[in-house]
Chain A
Amino acid sequence: MTEFRSPDQEISRLRLRLVVAGLFMLVCLGLLAARFFYLQVVRFDYYHTRAEDNRIALVPVPPNRGAIVDRNGKVLARNFAAYTLDITPSQVEDLDDTIDRLAEIVDISDYDRRRFKKFREESKFFESVPIRTKLTDEEVARFIARRYLFPGVDVQARLFREYPQGDLFGHVVGYMGRINNRDVDHIEARGETANYRGTEHIGKRGLEESYEAELHGKTGSEQVEVDAGGRKVRLLSRRTAVPGNSLILTVDAGLQAVAHQAFGDRRGALVAIEPSTGGVLALVSSPSFDPNLFVDGISVADWRGLNESPDRPLLNRAIYSAYPPGSTFKPFMGLAGLSTGKRTAQQAIADAGFYMFGGHRFMDDKIGGHGMVDLHKSIVESCNTYYYMLANDLGIDGIADFMRPFGFGQLTGIDLPGESEGVLPSPDWKRKRFKKPGQQKWYGGETISVGIGQGYNAYTPLQLATALSALVNDGVMFKPHVVKYVVDPQTGARREVEPEPIRRIPLKPAHLAAVRAAMVDVNRTGTGARAFAGAEYTVGGKTGTAQVYSLKGTKYKEGNVAERLRDHSWFIAFAPADKPKIAMAVLVENGGFGSRSAAPIARQVIDYYLLGKRPAGQASEDEDAPADE
């Protein structure tokens, strides 16, 4: 640090430093140039892809779900478009604040908030979640005007499922719900993950569940240019979605309505089948539920109401609940006697009003007995003693072997989910069913009870209707099915669900004729005569009463027993008798004798099906209404 220097020295030193500065600049700018070269040439492909990824989003276009209509084209399930307000949580900084501000523009209830929270927990973080569904046009307009204030929030048009028939088809059509984690696993297992991108709802019950693969369709896609806020700027290309197939059912909505209303507020089930095809004409489980409640997330109150009701409206009694068949089992037992040669049609037994077995007195329901009873009389008058004896002669294995081909105690294979097997009792079954050795043994007395349809016997109304269909269809048994056609909505091509004969049970026509004749007389002179008085067709039937509560030693008297402990009332019927078009099983829970509550329901259903008659007081409002679509 010299104190005195000449100006020339000073200048040359400064110039040196200017040169150093210039070189420094050159190096730094060279560094930048190298950086640009690296980014724009060396890594160009990478950044080009990144920019394209930024810019282009592949947006799935969920397909239009197939409609469900009854055999006459009446709409049971369809779609309607509605606007929802969606939030993409990953693009929103303060969710609660955003929702609060949104609530100043559109109605957002506590329920909406709870539902949003629940949906959010179930969805991936980058997915959009609806905060409000079914916006009014005014609400849409109000939001659109302020959209710029809400990054990550957008209005979307979505298709919602709608069930115009309300609770009438709750148990048949089922309902849709948002895809949850378990559904995701199922979709993955089916290898359909890509096809469900963009789909938010899936069939949860009924046909919506069992025909999910047909109804859903093929997801399309749109290549769109999006801005940094994720909003579409323009469409680049499109692969259209293929709409799902529609279903045309074998079910007759009119018949379903008659049957449904015939139950009133009683609990029970009805399954009516076309014996020659296995097509289900009506399938009622009462009480039912309105599937529309589930469409955009059921509210807690509604869910409690359905789930905690003692009447259990969500239970599909027609295919899931198994009941002892009671006396409706007798025609099958009678046929077993004839087919195995243990009885002839003419052979009669003397009924003293009871049957002694193993020191126990099995009572007939008619004091003093029915006198001389042959097959015909045993069915018409529903004589227990005849069947006590027959059961003893057939033995439990004989009974089980004969009944098995009719589908008793097995899944029928109907195209609805949630069917139960019921119980066709046998020593084998008992061994598997019970754990304690003492309980595993089969007792002879149990065979006697099984003979009249009590004891361990337990069948679903669907099984009974299917078995009856086989009986009245000369032993040819069809798999019951609800869907008649699967229709491609674009080409209109129909694919028929072929009636599928499961088996031909080798039965002699004479034996079948004898049983059927007896069943016809049930409704002429026997236990069903009152219900079918004045019928303009021939109809076969059989009443039944399934014990709910066994009264030891005391005589059963309805008035003394709590309503829920009363016997279940059964009726099975087919008509017309010579060439049956309809066969059905009706069960009224705690309905008492079959002749009193179940048989009149069968009468109304058959009157409507064969004659088009509606029960008095039941308006034909759906007939007058203009046909849907």
Chain B
Amino acid sequence: MEFRLHPVALIRAILRPIDPPLFLLLTVLLAAALMIMQSASPARMEAQLVNTGVALALMWVTARIPAPRLLSLAMPLYVVGVVLLVGVALFGEISKGAQRWLDLGVARIQPSELMKIAMPLMLAWFFQQREGAIGFVEFVLAGVLLAVPVALIVTQPDLGTSLLVAAAGLYVIFFAGLSWKLIVPLVLVAVLGLGSIVAFGDTLCQPEVDWHVLREYQKHRVCTLLDPTSDPLGKGFHIIQSTIAIGSGGLFGKGWMLGTQTHLSFIPERHTDFIFAVMAEEFGLVGALALLVVLFLLLLRGLMIAAAAPTLGTRLLAGAITMIFFTYAFVNMGMVSGILPVVGVPLPFISYGGTALVTLCIGVGILMSIQRERALSQP
């Protein structure tokens, strides 16, 4: 009896690790992604289907792993990640002016991508170890754990990923209870810094001004954001064309497969970073708001899982992962609609790209695993 699998039991077994609300929302997003991909780049449909399948499978596998086991993977993953980042710095391949890829013989991987999961996992595990005794020292240690990989990624140079990894770590630290007295000044400094860049953009963007901290192309991205018309055929072209695509979509959009900006190749990188512009052009404000709602519901579910999680580590992890999803979505849509600089961040669950999709779905898997942990711990 025990060894014979009834079909219903089989399905139940398969569905057991799945959190229905999260899975439903994810399915909506992935279906939308396929639909938009058909318009943006039909040639990539097949690959996108494969990516989706692999990502869902990995999500399921991750969801089946009990949350404590996941947390125990934190240290090894983190160490491997940092070692690989050092490897990239020493032996990495250079592509498009940046050293991001490491050829392991079997596959070319981007270790910085791994860090997006390993970082919150590591910090969550770290705080869990110190539970009940979290003080100043712990926060300093967490800051060091955060700073090392971020610094390695910044030097690649990859501003976008380093910001995301840094954010992932900071979210854990925030949820771990870093004092508001420290948070408020930090946020103020950040806001003032960004504000001054905006205010003095004209002077700062003169070609002879050296920004020291940022590479030339990063300075260019920021400056282009401040004044897209300054470089209408270069980098600014991306922002101008994507805002035209979004704006011309209007209330209801031009219709699926009918976006002129999309189909006449005015939108750059329209299957990856700028895929939101395709969607907003073809489905209008209605489509864009629908996407925001679905994303927000997914984030809400993530926060709920975090709030109900059984241990400190899982709470921190769930909260941080949810915030990472949010950050991806906000930075990407902000960039495409012209309110944030062009940083290479994909639209979560929608943009083409296997690595990012797999990372994100593993993140969902972790959330599901944590949710199941709670169910198990509350008889």
Contact = CB atoms under 8 A, between A and B. Distances in A.
A358 B251 CA distance: 102
Given A39-B247, A41-B251, A55 B260 contact: yes
B285 A37 contact: yes
A19 to B, nearest CB: 8
Interface in B131-168: 132-133, 135-136
Interface string A1-37: 1011101001101110110011001101101110111
A21 B183 CA distance: 13
Given A18-B175, A18-B306, A47-B244, A36 B312 contact: no
Given A1-B136, A32-B337, A54 B244 contact: yes
B264 A225 contact: yes
**Interface size band for B:** 35 or more
Interface stretch (B92-100, B115-123, B288-296): B288-296
A438 B260 CA distance: 81
Interface stretch (A197-205, A210-218, A227-235, A320-328): A227-235
Contacts of A525: none
B250 A48 contact: yes
Contacts of A51: 244-245, 247-248, 260-261, 266
Contacts of A228: 241, 264-266
Interface string B25-56: 00000000000000000000000000000000
B251 A3 contact: no
Contacts of B223: none
B23 interface: no
A351 B288 CA distance: 111
Contacts, number: 140
B319 A21 contact: yes
Contact of B177 (A14, A31, A33, A233): A14
Contacts of A48: 247-248, 250
A33 B244 contact: no
B261 A4 contact: no
Interface in B331-345: 333-334, 337-339
Nearest to A21: B323
B363 interface: no
A370 B245 CA distance: 98
Main secondary structure of the interface of B (DSSP, over half): helix
Nearest to A56: B260
A7 B310 CA distance: 11
Contact of B315 (A14, A46, A50): A14
Contacts of B248: 44, 47-48, 50-52
Given A3-B135, A32-B333, A54 B303 contact: no
B366 interface: no
A72 interface: no
Nearest to A48: B248
A3 B133 contact: yes
Nearest to A26: B296
Contacts of A226: 264
A36 B246 contact: yes
A40 interface: yes
Nearest to A54: B266
B190 interface: no
B280 A36 contact: yes
Contact of B246 (A22, A39, A225): A39
Contacts of A101: none
Nearest to A9: B177
Contacts of B303: 18, 21-22
B300 interface: yes
A91 B288 CA distance: 33
B330 A28 contact: yes
Given A3-B133, A22-B303, A29 B284 contact: no
A43 interface: yes
A123 B294 CA distance: 53
B296 A43 contact: no
Nearest to B266: A228
B328 interface: no
Nearest to B326: A25
Contacts of B334: 32, 35
B17 interface: no
Nearest to A53: B244
B126 interface: no
A39 B243 contact: yes
B247 A46 contact: yes
A10 B300 CA distance: 21
Interface string B304-330: 001100001001100100110010011
Interface string B222-262: 00000000000100000001011111111100000000110
26 contacts: A4-B133, A10-B312, A11-B315, A14-B316, A17-B175, A18-B175, A18-B303, A22-B299, A29-B295, A29-B329, A32-B337, A36-B246, A36-B288, A40-B247, A40-B251, A40-B280, A48-B248, A51-B244, A51-B245, A51-B260, A51-B261, A52-B260, A54-B244, A54-B260, A55-B266, A228-B265
Identify the 7 closest CB pairs spanning chains A and B, nearest first.
A47-B247, A51-B248, A39-B247, A228-B265, A227-B264, A40-B285, A47-B248
Given A51-B248, A228-B265, A228-B266, 6 more contacts: A14-B175, A14-B312, A26-B296, A51-B245, A55-B266, A90-B233
